[in-house]
Chains A and B, each alone.
Chain A
Amino acid sequence: MADPMKIRAKMDGDKVDVRILMAHEMETGQRKDTQGKVIPAWFIQNVSATCNGRTVLSAEWGPAVAKNPFLAFKFTGAKPGDKIVVTWTDNHGDKRTDEATIATA
């Protein structure tokens, strides 16, 4: 099981400012190990964030997203205390879901 994500969500005026740091290797499938064998690709493919059951962001990623991916976005229509739930799925089918509570500014 992968390590937990770090999620910070806080109000910025009427918007919610969300910052997510995920722990993932994001192996591209382009690199070779010391024996010259290709290291197989291992990366996050799908990310989705929901707030109060409403999807606020979904993303499809390729292996070009950097290791331990960082993602920030902003959305409206939530208040402090609401929960934001973030899920990712990688190309091995591994999944991780974490949540955070929206803080006041």
Chain B
Amino acid sequence: MNSSRRDMLRGSAVLGLAMAAGLLKPGSAWAEWNKAAFDTKTLPDAVKALGGASPAESNLISITSPDIAENGAVVPFTIESKLPKTENVAILIEKNPNILAANFSIPDGTQPWVNTRVKMGQTSNVIALVKADGKFYYASKEVKVTLGGCGG
């Protein structure tokens, strides 16, 4: 008898029991999604939920985006960090219902440069939050929105 198969069966039985008992919510296994961080509404709260405190403003972070976005449903952003040892880049929209839009982890060998598109409910400050060498830094830029992208 293949012993690893036995172990596997036993393991899944235990897992099944744990699920039935409500110990493990189905779904919690596949995503290590930081719900607390995505529920935050302000920059200090978001930084706290991401495991930091008191971010410092930095001019080594650049945000490239249109100054006026005609359509808030699709606003392109390029975030670049020149800070050494950049580990994380996050995009925060101050006036969206939840401030955190996206959080990217940058492993070694990947450039601290991301380009993506986000939704903006209204004209707002956009904050690029960067974690470099264990510390948090940010830069912000106001983007005007003529047509909102949240709600309809």
Contacts and interface: CB of A to CB of B under 8 A. Distances in A.
Given A57-B106, A93-B30, A74 B111 contact: yes
Nearest to B97: A30
Query: How many interface residues does chain A have, given as a range?
Result: 35 or more
B101 A65 contact: yes
Contacts of A56: 107, 109-110
B102 interface: yes
Interface residues of B, number: 40
Chain A contact residues: over half helix, strand or loop, or mixed? strand
B118 A64 contact: yes
Contacts of A72: 114-116
Contact of B114 (A54, A55, A63, A73): A73
B139 interface: no
Contacts of B37: 60
B93 A64 contact: yes
A70 B117 contact: yes
Contacts of A30: 97, 150-151
Interface of A: 15, 26, 28, 30-32, 45-46, 54-67, 69-77, 89, 91, 93, 95
Given A60-B33, A66-B75, A66-B149, 6 more contacts: A55-B107, A56-B109, A60-B34, A61-B103, A65-B117, A75-B111
